[in-house]
A and B are shown apart, each in its own frame.
Chain A
Amino acid sequence: MAYLDHAATTPMHPQAVAAMTEALSTTGNASSLHTSGRRARRAVEEAREDIADALGARPSEVLFTGGGTESDNLAVKGIYWASDRRRVLASAVEHHAVLDAVEWLERQGAEVTWLPTDRFGRVSPESVAEALDDDVALVTTMWANNEVGTINPVHDIARLCSEHGVPFHTDAVQAVGAVPVDFAASGASALTMTGHKVGGPYGVGVLLLARDVKCTPLMHGGGQERDVRSGTLDVPSIVGLARAVRISVDEQASRAVETAALRDELIASVRAVVPDVIVNGDPVDRLPGNAHLTFPGCEGDSLLMLLDARGVECSTGSACTAGVAQPSHVLLAMDVEPALARGSLRFSLGHTSTHADVEKLATVIGPVVERARTAGLAGMRRSRKVVKQ
């Protein structure tokens, strides 16, 4: 089986599994004052320091959450609520965890400006500069796009925001471990990352929140995590997460080179059998493991099923509750024709990807595309009876 869906979730690092497993058999609430509690608290604080060090943040800026969606919601809603300003600027290609949170704020009375993107899905600092004023409570732009892999000029956007005294949040779920991420150097006020995209466990994430940024909690309770995120700390997950962050950040530079080479090989081998394949996203400034491809004349769901049956796993875009492939808002924002958007697949490589995975795809993609094209044409036939005449 060729697992080419690392952007959805990537296998846990064995060391993270080991660290987490050990922590799972240890008792102690990190908020308790006795010996067991102190031991748990120590594990959490070491994890916090490790993550801060790996991501260029201060330990006090690391807030543990339940994952990327929570971190995004906390940043978007919390920073907006804590401000007396009314405007929010968000890119049109955000993950739904940001997009839907912003849309919800809009229904609550926020004035939202959707930042346009170019044909690669990149937000321009100019469009941010144009929209900024002193009534903006928050600007949010993802570091790297989860669908097409394009990397945004977050440093430039952060600088502009800082000049206007506006907090800047960036969803770096796909970026951490894939490209260099340094919170302090980026100039961002808040940054989202999550465990299961970097070889850590599911259900745990981090919001890096600069110390001077006010953020109203989503959840009230015991006052953990600077009073911004109450709830008993999940010590084993936090320990596993820290281990994974450390490994993925330490190995980032060399891994990125290897993964990008493999990704380029994947694209080249697909193009060799499907010459009209289209690569979406920025050709250069993109995540090393991302190959987002459009197969003209095909339906993405047909391709996915045929590949799945042949042992190749990939994605048609963001998964959704009902499992229905909706036309991707990212591709639509990039002005891709809806028909082409429907014929797109995301292949994403990660730390366990091999040449064999790419070769497996290369051997099956030709016949699969041919068959999906026939099916795509079948879909265009309005009526069997008409065809017979």
Chain B
Amino acid sequence: MKVLAAMSGGVDSAVAAARAVEAGHDVTGVHLALSAKPGTLRTGARGCCTIEDAHDARRAADLMGIPFYVWDFAERFTEEVVEDFVAEYAAGRTPNPCLRCNERIKFEALLDKAIALGFDAVCTGHYARLEMVGGRPELRRSADLGKDQSYVLASLTEDQLAHAMFPLGDTTKDDVRVEAASRGLSVAKKPDSHDICFIPDGDTQKFLAGRMETKPGLLIDDATGAVLGRHAGVHEFTVGQRKGLGLDGPAADGRPRYVLALEPVSGNVRVGAVEKLAVTEISASSPVAHVELDGPVECVAQVRAHGGTAPAVAELVGGVLRVQLREPLKGVAPGQAVAIYREDAAGDIVLASATIDATS
């Protein structure tokens, strides 16, 4: 196959590309330049779009003897990921930009271009297992459950997955590093990237404050309706947040208070006791189903990239995925994705993904 390997400059995508080469594919490496302001060496290696990262990707490609190019997707990335991120927060929702980037950049903008240019697949260093079963792609959790990224891939359509290649799904991160070293890849010991690549200093609130209209609002006690204080804008809060609420003290009952809901229209933030965070019902829209969902299905639901799983019953009704959790989950916010899995000893199988609209 003709394979386009997306190479971030990190160890995972480098080993993934090397494995694709070894499997006999005709591989071309591409580094996506995503930063609207071209990076400098000084911005460090925390994100995935610095000149140093492009250099590391290039050197890995050199070692494999494959062609390598840098493609500029900065405009698409800004429009589809960064602006969406800001808009979602402004609407009081909690977006997942990595998921969005997979959906709209790596497996849409890049994949579309790759297919048009004559490639058969896009290869990435994601930790997830993907196989064609009966002509349909089947996505499973990675063998390394600590690194599993099936959650941020679960919203890819059948068509997108049919042209995806994740060569690292059956390997642990530790083994990938060992393999990188034995292949002589200089990125073998490069630290993992964390957080959000377009917010290199990790200060999401500062990033948002400079980009959205901030509206001051009230902190309201969810139980009594009492006004507990004022705040500079909903972007400073996330559902489930406890620290930094700017409250004088705990509630009358002496227990800490948590953010329960953000109300972007009024600008108010509702706070309350920890039990009120517990969610047992999720309603999610824009579903992508990987199997036919006829009637209620026993599954495991996941609401965050790492952790946040609970046994559940899910049903697709009129374009809405309704998930009834058998154990409550905390910190479930509208805007996040819910992925549902069928438990399987050989790796849980992704059944569907949808965007959370409401919880109770």
CB–CB B69/A305 < 8 A = yes
Q: Flag the segment in B114-122, B172-180, B197-205, B228-236 that touches A.
A: B114-122
Q: Does B33 contact A (CB under 8 A)?
A: yes
Q: Flag the segment in A58-66, A128-136, A250-258, A368-376 that touches B.
A: A368-376
Q: Flag the segment in A108-116, A226-234, A276-284, A319-327 that touches B.
A: A319-327
Q: Does A356 contact B (CB under 8 A)?
A: no
CB–CB A383/B116 < 8 A = no
Q: Using CB atoms, name the residue of chain A closest to B76.
A: A379
CB within 8 Å of B: which A360-378 residues: 371-372, 374-378
CB–CB B54/A302 < 8 A = no
CB–CB B67/A305 < 8 A = yes
CB within 8 Å of A: which B110-152 residues: 112-113, 115-118
Q: Does B83 contact A (CB under 8 A)?
A: no
* Contact residues in A for B109 (Cβ distance below 8 Å): 379
* Contact residues in A for B39 (Cβ distance below 8 Å): 322
The complex places the Cα of A216 from the Cα of B262 at a distance, in Å, of: 63
The complex places the Cα of A304 from the Cα of B117 at a distance, in Å, of: 11
Q: Are A309 and B115 also in contact (CB < 8 A) when A322-B38, A384-B160 are?
A: no
Give the interface SS of chain A, mostly helix, strand, loop or mixed: helix
Q: Does A40 contact B (CB under 8 A)?
A: no
* Contact residues in A for B195 (Cβ distance below 8 Å): none
CB–CB A384/B70 < 8 A = no
Hey, what's the 0/1 contact readout for A92-125 against B, CB within 8 Å counting as 1? 0000000000000000000000000000000000
* Contact residues in B for A326 (Cβ distance below 8 Å): 38, 72
Q: Does A308 contact B (CB under 8 A)?
A: yes
CB–CB A383/B67 < 8 A = no
CB–CB A324/B70 < 8 A = yes
Q: Are A375 and B108 also in contact (CB < 8 A) when A305-B67, A322-B51, A324-B38 are?
A: no
**A contact residues, total (Cβ < 8 Å):** 25
CB–CB B117/A323 < 8 A = no
Q: Using CB atoms, name the residue of chain B closest to A321.
A: B51
Hey, what's the 0/1 contact readout for A145-167 against B, CB within 8 Å counting as 1? 00000000000000000000000
CB–CB B72/A301 < 8 A = yes
Hey, what's the 0/1 contact readout for B43-55 against A, CB within 8 Å counting as 1? 0000000010010
CB within 8 Å of A: which B148-205 residues: 157, 159-160
The complex places the Cα of A321 from the Cα of B51 at a distance, in Å, of: 8
Q: Does A306 contact B (CB under 8 A)?
A: yes
CB–CB A379/B112 < 8 A = yes
- Report which of B33, B67, B70, B117 forms a contact with A375, defined as CB distance below 8 A: B117
Q: Does A381 contact B (CB under 8 A)?
A: yes
How far, in Å, is B85 (CB) from chain A's closest CB?
17
* Contact residues in B for A374 (Cβ distance below 8 Å): 116
Q: Does B28 contact A (CB under 8 A)?
A: yes
* Contact residues in A for B112 (Cβ distance below 8 Å): 375, 378-379, 381, 384
The complex places the Cα of A324 from the Cα of B70 at a distance, in Å, of: 6
- Report which of A324, A371, A377, A385 forms a contact with B118, defined as CB distance below 8 A: A371
Q: Are A301 and B116 also in contact (CB < 8 A) when A383-B104, A383-B108, A384-B108 are?
A: no
The complex places the Cα of A301 from the Cα of B73 at a distance, in Å, of: 12
* Contact residues in A for B118 (Cβ distance below 8 Å): 306, 371
What number of residue pairs across chains A and B have CB atoms under 8 A from each other?
64
Q: Are A301 and B33 also in contact (CB < 8 A) when A322-B39, A371-B116 are?
A: no
Q: Using CB atoms, name the residue of chain B closest to A375.
A: B116
CB–CB A302/B70 < 8 A = no
CB–CB A377/B116 < 8 A = yes
How far, in Å, is A81 (CB) from chain B's closest CB?
27
Q: Are A302 and B108 also in contact (CB < 8 A) when A323-B54, A384-B157 are?
A: no
Q: Using CB atoms, name the residue of chain A closest to B70.
A: A323
The complex places the Cα of A308 from the Cα of B115 at a distance, in Å, of: 18
Q: Does B93 contact A (CB under 8 A)?
A: no
The complex places the Cα of A381 from the Cα of B71 at a distance, in Å, of: 17
- Report which of B38, B71, B117 forms a contact with A371, defined as CB distance below 8 A: B117
* Contact residues in A for B115 (Cβ distance below 8 Å): 378
Q: Does B58 contact A (CB under 8 A)?
A: yes
* Contact residues in B for A325 (Cβ distance below 8 Å): 70, 72
CB–CB A301/B69 < 8 A = yes
The complex places the Cα of A345 from the Cα of B195 at a distance, in Å, of: 38
CB–CB A384/B159 < 8 A = yes
* Contact residues in A for B159 (Cβ distance below 8 Å): 384
* Contact residues in B for A384 (Cβ distance below 8 Å): 108, 112, 157, 159-160
CB within 8 Å of A: which B84-117 residues: 104, 108-109, 112-113, 115-117
CB–CB A322/B71 < 8 A = no
The complex places the Cα of A180 from the Cα of B117 at a distance, in Å, of: 42
* Contact residues in B for A378 (Cβ distance below 8 Å): 112-113, 115-116
Hey, what's the 0/1 contact readout for A296-322 against B, CB within 8 Å counting as 1? 000001101110110000000000011
Q: Using CB atoms, name the residue of chain A closest to B53.
A: A322
- Report which of A324, A372, A381 forms a contact with B117, defined as CB distance below 8 A: A372
Q: Which of A302, A326, A379 has the most CB of B within 10 A?
A: A379
The complex places the Cα of A122 from the Cα of B96 at a distance, in Å, of: 49
- Report which of A301, A308, A376 forms a contact with B67, defined as CB distance below 8 A: A308
Q: Using CB atoms, name the residue of chain A closest to B31.
A: A323
How far, in Å, is B50 (CB) from chain A's closest CB?
9
Q: Which of B54, B58, B67, B71 has the most CB of A within 10 A?
A: B71
How far, in Å, is A47 (CB) from chain B's closest CB?
36
The complex places the Cα of A308 from the Cα of B112 at a distance, in Å, of: 20
Q: Using CB atoms, name the residue of chain A closest to B115.
A: A378
How far, in Å, is A311 (CB) from chain B's closest CB?
12
Q: Which of B54, B67, B116 has the most CB of A within 10 A?
A: B116
How far, in Å, is A187 (CB) from chain B's closest CB?
39
* Contact residues in A for B116 (Cβ distance below 8 Å): 371, 374-378
The complex places the Cα of A371 from the Cα of B72 at a distance, in Å, of: 19
CB–CB A324/B67 < 8 A = no
The complex places the Cα of A325 from the Cα of B38 at a distance, in Å, of: 11
How far, in Å, is B359 (CB) from chain A's closest CB?
25
The complex places the Cα of A3 from the Cα of B38 at a distance, in Å, of: 29
- Report which of B28, B33, B104 forms a contact with A322, defined as CB distance below 8 A: B33
The complex places the Cα of A377 from the Cα of B116 at a distance, in Å, of: 9
* Contact residues in A for B70 (Cβ distance below 8 Å): 322-325
Of the A-B pairs whose beta carbons lie under 8 Å apart in the complex, a sample of 20, sorted by A's number, is A301-B69, A306-B118, A309-B28, A322-B39, A322-B70, A323-B54, A324-B38, A324-B70, A325-B72, A326-B72, A371-B117, A371-B118, A375-B116, A375-B117, A378-B113, A378-B115, A379-B109, A383-B104, A383-B108, A384-B157
Top-3 shortest CB links A-B: A375-B116, A323-B70, A378-B112
A-B contact sample (5 more), CB < 8 A, given A309-B28, A325-B70, A375-B112: A306-B117, A323-B58, A324-B72, A378-B115, A384-B159
A binding-site residues for B, Cβ under 8 Å: 301-302, 304-306, 308-309, 321-326, 371-372, 374-379, 381, 383-385
